[in-house]
Amino acid sequence: MPEPEVVASRYATAPAAPPEPTAPEPPAAHCDRRRLWKAAIKWPMYAVAVMPVLLAAGWRWGRAEVVRLDQLLLFLAAAVLLLAWENLTNDVFDADTGVDTHGKPHSVVNLTGRRDRVALWANACLGTGLALMALVAWGSTPLVLALVLACCALGYLYQGPPFRLGYRGLGEPLCWLAFGPLATAAGLLALAPTPTGPATVPWGAALVLGSGPALATTLVLFCSHFHQVAEDRAHGKHSPVVQLGTATAAALVPWIVALALALEWAPVVLGRWPLTALLGAIGLPPARRLITLLGCHHDLPERVAGSKFLALRFQALNGLGLALGLALGRWI
């Protein structure tokens, strides 16, 4: 007769096997996705959004005029949100034309696979940004909101259907207008004391102050086309680099840099700005690297993919140096 322990073990139910663990995402794939999201967010790009009002603040402070800090902070927040709208809608509209399907893995639409959701985020940024800008206009003049709405209209004309003027090579002039005279004039009005009578747009000051930095901003957009010429041409996007060819476009970059600096240094030479405004020259090192890179490798997309970030570094350092130099003029 078998032992009780043997009988019990014979009829005992075997314990269930533990579930197989889900294989974790490979570290390389995880790092690659983080890199793509970092490229999609494009946080350094927001230097172009805040520069017009920072220049306006530096110019007003250097002239010993009032700079309203609350208005400045509201304007900065609104400008960042409005540029986020611009970037997200560009991804949405480029997804509609197919130009980003293969050549831009860091498109937010490609990363999420949800065009509708990205469009919703974009509209939320637009609504919130305009609401904040309306508060700025409430504390200054309605002209601020009108100028900002004009900037938004130019942004839509750049990529939005049925216009898509960026596909016709007109994105750079639109960029210069939006981030130059229009945005700079809005910043000057927003930071000034509330007018007691009818306000007027300071076109003269905005044109002198914003022309050079806006050209540096336009250079960022110009350089963003070098690595995607084949994709742009295949989808009917006739950017200036596509129309001119990479060699001719690269040869223009030194002239664009020189013209941007000339527009900023001319008021110094004429005695209208202090010598410290020459601090905008701190942007020259990345500009020199950009010129060298495009001069040597303009036709190699994998080598020039980062050229727009060199252009962005030039834009940011140049604009911040100019704003600081103008502000220092208060004591010189």
Report d(CA 117, CA 132) in Å as an integer. Answer: 23
d(CA 247, CA 297): 9
What is the distance between the alpha carbons of residues 20 and 118, in angstroms, rounded to a whole number? Answer: 36
What confidence tens digit (pLDDT) does each residue in 18-37 have?
554 544 445 544 456 566 55
Q: Encode pLDDT of 192-250 as tens digits.
A: 988 877 889 999 999 999 999 999 999 999 999 998 898 888 888 899 999 999 999 99
Whether residue 140 has pLDDT greater than 90: yes
For 264-308, give the DSSP string: HHHHHHTTSS-GGGGGGGGGHHHHHHHHHHHHHHTT-HHHHTTHH
Q: Residue 281's domain spans which residues?
A: 44-194+202-331
pLDDT given at position 80: 95
Q: Is the pLDDT of residue 325 over 50?
A: yes
Place of tokens 């999609």: 40
48's CB contacts (< 8 A; 6+ apart) are 83, 179, 217, 220, 312, 315
CB 216 within 8 A of CB 260: yes
Determine, yes or no, domain membership for 112. Answer: yes
- Percent residues over pLDDT 90 in the chain: 65
Give residue 31's pLDDT. 53
Residue 2: pLDDT band with limits 50, 70, 90: very low
In a domain, 30, yes or no: no
Q: pTM higher than 0.75, yes or no?
A: yes
Decide if 170 is inside a domain: yes
Q: How many domains does the chain have?
A: 1
Residue 321 placed within a domain: yes
Q: Rounded to the nearest 5 degrees, what angle is found at the Cα of 158, between the Cα atoms of 187 and 311?
A: 65
pLDDT at 3 over 60: no
Q: What percent of the chain has pLDDT over 70?
A: 82
Determine the pLDDT at residue 113. 59
Question: Predicted confidence band at 134 (pLDDT cuts at 50, 70, 90)?
Answer: very high
CATH code, domain with 305? 1.10.600
Confidence of residue 109 (pLDDT cuts 50, 70, 90): low
What letter does residue 62 receive in the DSSP assignment?
A: H
Domain membership flag for residue 116: yes
8 occurs within a structural domain = no
- Give domain status of residue 323, yes or no: yes
Q: Convert 239-277 to b/e letters by CB count within 10 Å (16 or more is b).
A: bbbbeeebeebbeebeebbeebbebbbebbeeeebbebb
